[in-house]
């Protein structure tokens, strides 16, 4: 009827882990996907991060933000994997499920897919700091304070980095689409 003391502790650890870590795993997966650009690699990276967090669960209480730690671990692991494998795959992960295909002409669908592909390519050309800040702010919708915790950058530096990243994307998009002549 009663569980062993060690068993109760493990159950409590598991419950606390589930409450603190599992709610952020979708964000971690999207971040890993952004860096690795491959669903299977992102799943593997997420699994590694979750295992490392579980292994070090006793030390998680010492961190101010476990979510920031998890994001930082995911970023570092992904960058390590990219450097170790020295590979760049251009996998199209456009989720056209968000666009109702019946309401768009095939021409418009192609234009949208091309635009998304161009933005992804331009984002991949950004320096890592700009890519990370842009992703955290515009995709994950982190606040500047949350980005500060994750990156260790000051809020002013984050704002400048974000502005430069957006400007580079805009300039590259306009240049490659020959829209400059219209402005």
Q: Please compute the mean of the pLDDT values over residues 77-96 and round it to a whole number.
A: 54
pLDDT of residue 99: 42
**Residue 166 binned pLDDT confidence (cut-offs 50, 70, 90):** very high
CB 72 within 8 A of CB 27: no
pLDDT tens, 131-142? 889 888 887 778
pLDDT tens, 142-152? 888 888 888 88
Query: Nearest CA to 13 among 69, 42, 55?
Result: 55
User: Residues 6 or more apart from 134 whose CB is under 8 A from it?
Assistant: 123, 126, 162, 165, 166, 169
Q: Please compute the mean of the pLDDT values over residues 101-106 and round it to a whole number.
A: 64
pLDDT of residue 157: 94
Domains and CATH numbers, the chain: 5-85 (1.10.1740), 103-182 (1.10.10.10)
What's the predicted TM-score (pTM) here? 0.52
pLDDT tens, 9-45? 455 478 878 888 888 999 999 989 888 888 999 999 9
**What is the DSSP code string of 82-144?**
HHHHT---------GGGS-GGGS-HHHHHHHHHHHHHHHHHHHHS-HHHHHHHIIIIIS---H
- Ranges 48-52, 111-115, 149-153, most confident: 48-52
């Amino acid at each position: 009827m009663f569980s062993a003391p060690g068993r109760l502790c493990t159950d409590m650890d598991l419950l606390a882990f589930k409450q603190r870590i599992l709610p952020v795993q979708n964000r971690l997966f999207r971040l890993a996907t952004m860096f690795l650009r491959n669903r299977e690699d992102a799943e593997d990276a997420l699994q590694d991060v979750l295992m490392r967090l579980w292994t070090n669960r006793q030390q998680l209480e010492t961190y101010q933000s476990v979510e920031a730690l998890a994001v930082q671990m995911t970023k570092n692991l992904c960058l390590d994997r990219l450097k170790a494998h020295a590979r760049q795959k251009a996998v199209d992960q456009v989720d056209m499920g968000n666009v109702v295909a019946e309401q768009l002409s095939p021409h418009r669908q192609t234009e949208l897919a091309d635009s998304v592909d161009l933005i992804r390519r331009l984002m991949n050309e950004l320096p890592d700091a700009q890519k990370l800040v842009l992703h955290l702010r515009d995709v994950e919708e982190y606040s500047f304070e949350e980005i500060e915790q994750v990156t260790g950058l000051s809020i002013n530096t984050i704002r400048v980095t974000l502005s430069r990243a957006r400007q580079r994307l805009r300039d590259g998009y306009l240049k490659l689409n020959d829209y400059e002549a219209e402005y």
